[in-house]
Structure 1
Amino acid sequence: MKKKKWMMMAVMVLALTMMFGTTVYASGKGDVAGAIEGTWQDASAQIKTVVNKVVFPAIDLILAVFFFAKLGTAYFDYRKHGQFEWAAPAILFACLVFTLTAPTYIWKILGI
């Protein structure tokens, strides 16, 4: 019984692999690298747009929330203990400035 279940599972996996697996051919002479480079050139503009309009703003928003939350907690610690801790807010601020300005230079570094 156990062997039958394993065989059925193996047949099912094999059938799904054959059904959903597709054969990909490189264009013309079998130049796989050329096909990949062509696909990358077509997709890089879309990737750049999505990263600039979705990813960087999402990271900026998260860092801004963390920065202001940490600034608030540091202020309350200052009121309680009399000493303001600058390290965490400074690090978050530096990360926020880095991600706010990243879209202007990151694509030149990556060569896109």
Structure 2
Amino acid sequence: MKQIVKILCAVILTASVFCIPVCAANGDVASAIEETWGAASEQIKAVVNNVVFPAIDLVLAVFFFAKLGTAYFDYRKHGQFEWVAPAILFVCLVFMLTAPTYVWTILGI
């Protein structure tokens, strides 16, 4: 029990050391939040454009070509090509490839 209390005290002490107090000037919290968002929004936009969208595009492209391949092998086996799943993945891929051009205007950033 003493060991658990010691560990708990160490965690609480460490957390209190690393806590950063945030003070808004004259109690105006809204302007402090808007100022922080204004500074961070460009960084968020850059990360999403350069990391998130390409990662999603890569995953969708892999799924699209894998599903296209399995649909082709099903066609060779059964003689009927199933277009629904590859078409949905293709539309999603095109949607995500063009998303950076319009998503920021929709969000107002």
Q: Who is 2:76 aligned against?
A: 79
Distance apart, 1:14 and its partner CA? 1.8
* Structure-to-structure mapping, 1:25-44, within 5 angstroms: 25-26=23-24, 28-44=25-41
Q: Who is 2:99 aligned against?
A: 102
Q: Structure 1 counterpart of 2:78, which letter?
A: H
Summarize deviations over 1:24-59 as a string: whole Å, max 9, x none.
111x21211211111111111121122112211121
TM-score normalised by L of structure 2: 0.92
Structure 1 alignment gaps of length 5 or more = none
Q: Does 1:13 align with 2:11?
A: yes
Q: Who is 2:21 aligned against?
A: 23
Q: What is the count of residue pairs matched by the alignment?
A: 109
Computed over aligned residues only, the root mean square deviation of the Cα atoms, in angstroms, reads 1.2
Q: Structure 2 counterpart of 1:16, which letter?
A: T
Q: Structure 1 counterpart of 2:75, which letter?
A: Y
- Which runs of 4 or more aligned residues in structure 1 lie more than 4 Å from their structure 2 counterparts after TM superposition? none
Quick one: distance in 2 between partners of 1:14 and 1:51? 34
TM-score normalised by L of structure 1: 0.90
Distance apart, 1:9 and its partner CA? 2.2
Structure 2 alignment gaps of length 5 or more = none
Distance apart, 1:68 and its partner CA? 0.9
Quick one: distance in 2 between partners of 1:4 and 1:79? 70
